[in-house]
A and B are shown apart, each in its own frame.
Chain A
Amino acid sequence: NAGVTQTPKFRILKIGQSMTLQCAQDMNHNYMYWYRQDPGMGLKLIYYSVGAGITDKGEVPNGYNVSRSTTEDFPLRLELAAPSQTSVYFCASSYDRGVYGYTFGSGTRLTVV
C-alpha cells in the first residue's frame, strides 16, 4: 500500500515550457486534491476532484489544468510555465469528504527559470 505517489520529486522548467505533475493513489479514495505551497506559507488549493470525470477549481487555479479519467490518477498540467509557479506541489486524497483526514503525497518541488 503505497498511499499517494507523486512524480517527479524535483523539476526545473524554463519559462514557457509545459509539464504534467503525476499523482496516483492506491487507497480507492474518490476525492483527490492539488495544493501548492510557496516558501514559508501555508498550502493553497489549486484543483480538486470528487470522483472520476469530475473536477473543480480551488483557490488558485489560474495557469493549471487537471483531469480525472480514473479513480487512481489525478495529473496536474502546467501550460506556459511562469516564475510565479515556482513552488512545492502536493497531491492529496481522501475517502469521501475527508472527515477522517487527507493523505498527502511527498510533493514535487518545481522551479521555473
Chain B
Amino acid sequence: DAKTTQPPSMDCAEGRAANLPCNHSTISGNEYVYWYRQIHSQGPQYIIHGLKNNETNEMASLIITEDRKSSTLILPHATLRDTAVYYCIVRPGNNAGNMLTFGGGTRLMVKP
C-alpha cells in the first residue's frame, strides 16, 4: 500500500473551514484515498473516500489533485466537536490484503 504524509497537528477557528492536507506521491492507479477520524478515546469513524474525482458528503469534501499525488479533506464549518485525529489512508479498492493501515494522522484542534 502507498504511504501517506500528514502534518502532525493543525488548529482551526470554530466556524471556519478546516483544510487537512495529505501527500500520497506513490499512490497506484487502483488505490483509493480514505479519510477517518478518531475523537478522543473513541473508535475511528469513516468520513469519506475517493479515487480521482472530488467527493462530498454530509460530513466533508475530498479534493484530489489531478495527478492524485495529494488530497485535501475539507470540513466546511468546523465545530468544537470536530476536534480529533484525522487519518488519511490509501488502499486498493479490491484490497487484497483486507486491511486498513493507520499512520500518525493529523491532530486537529478546533478553537472557539
Residues of A within 8 A of B (CB): 4, 31, 33, 35, 41-45, 48, 50, 56, 58-59, 88, 90, 92, 97-107
Contacts and interface: CB of A to CB of B under 8 A. Distances in A.
Contact of A98 (B43, B44, B95, B104): B95
Contacts of B87: 42
Nearest to B95: A97
Interface residues on B, range: 20 to 34
Interface in B62-111: 87, 93-95, 98-105
Interface of B: 32, 34, 36, 41-46, 49, 87, 93-95, 98-105
Contacts of A92: 43-44
Find the residue from A90, A98, A107 having the highest chain B CB count within 10 A: A98
B89 to A, nearest CB: 10
A42 B46 contact: no
